[in-house]
Amino acid sequence: MQETEHDQAISTWNRVFSRLRPIGISPQFLLVVAMLAIAPLFINDEYILHLMVVSLLYGSQAIAFDFTAGFINVVNFGLAAFVGIGAYTSALLVVRLGASPWIGFAVGTLAAALLGFITGLLTLRLRGLYAAVMAWFVGLALMALTAAFTDLTRGYLGLSVPLFLKTIEMRPYFYILLPITILTYVVLRAVTNSHIGLAFKAIGQNLRAARVSGVDPTKYRVLNFTLSCAVCGMLGVFYAHFVGILTPDVMATAHTVEVLALSYVGGRGTLWGGLLAAFLVIPTFEYLKPLMEIRLILYGVLLILVMILYPAGLAGILQRVGELLKRRLWRG
């Protein structure tokens, strides 16, 4: 009788997770979320907590980047600019109009999504490198405009932005960002596992074949790009009210390169791989501060090594280890 009840419980859990799996929720996912949620409660070092917040922020950006690069095969070299648009939109609403930073979340996200939609319409009719370069040019133009309109943005003098909370402790900010990251992953995973995601994958694998089979590449590429930019804008709002000061450097291409490296090192097309890479790479680089003058070179070397030695990235390594463990358990 006990065995029957045990089997029924397992069967129930399997049915639940089979329904949740399309949105990326699995036992492994819940375990990782629980570990992330609990860890800050046992860490009192503000420096380590700060590294955790920064890792989560960059890892979330890597998820948004991989949503485009890993599924429709378009590298958004202007990603940092969309983070900056969300940041500046919310900051200006709060500083100039006295709005709440929480309202800035919605407005900043919509502003980045709208700009992403317009940019996508202009650039994603192009193919390959042309689309990536055009997105990069848009980012450079936005950065230049932000620096030029000093009366509004204060340019490189820096725009002072009110924080979300009246505290300098890192733990509350981690618990603001963690739900954002979870929501980002779940929504984007749900999209990639839907019929829309099938269109994304078809376009990413062979654009011409996708068009012949009835998929409108421009439509789906613009949709993908818009969603990715919306996420970047939302993360930009968090950045603005977490750091407390904005300069045009937030839109610098160097930040995009860092996110790109995390995405590829983590495992292209996995979404979660970039988040894993962020928690490993960013703390490591932080402890190598004396070498930060050449950090982009280090990112480049790391990226090249991963692409040559193991293109599947860290996610591929973990999946391979998981498969080996399953085989041994079945044999046992």
Segment 145-193, tens digit of pLDDT: 999 999 999 999 999 999 998 888 999 999 999 999 999 999 999 999 9
Q: Record the pTM.
A: 0.91
Q: Is residue 135 part of a domain?
A: yes
Domain encompassing residue 164:
44-252
Q: Is residue 292 part of a domain?
A: no
Q: Is residue 141 part of a domain?
A: yes
pLDDT at 315: 87
Query: How many Cβ atoms sit within 10 Å of the Cβ of residue 4?
Result: 8
Q: Is residue 247 part of a domain?
A: yes
> Quick check: helix, strand or coil at residue 310?
coil
pLDDT digits (tens, 9 = 90+) for 86-113: 999 999 999 999 898 889 999 999 999 9
Q: Which residue has the higher pLDDT, 17 or 203?
A: 203
Q: Is residue 319 part of a domain?
A: no
The whole-angstrom separation of Cα 25 and Cα 66 is 18
| Rounded mean pLDDT, 12-41 | 81
List, as one string, the DSSP characters of 32-96.
HHHHHHHGGGG---HHHHHHHHHHHHHHHHHHHHHHHHTTT----TTHHHHHHHHHHHHHHHHHH
42-57: b or e for each residue (b if 16 or more CB lie within 10 Å)? eeeeeeebbbbbbbbb
Q: Is residue 9 part of a domain?
A: no
Give me the number of domains the chain comprises. Answer: 1
Q: Is residue 234 part of a domain?
A: yes
pLDDT at 2: 45
| Rounded mean pLDDT, 213-239 | 94
The whole-angstrom separation of Cα 245 and Cα 247 is 7
Q: Is residue 284 part of a domain?
A: no
> How far is C-alpha 154 from the chain's CA centre?
28
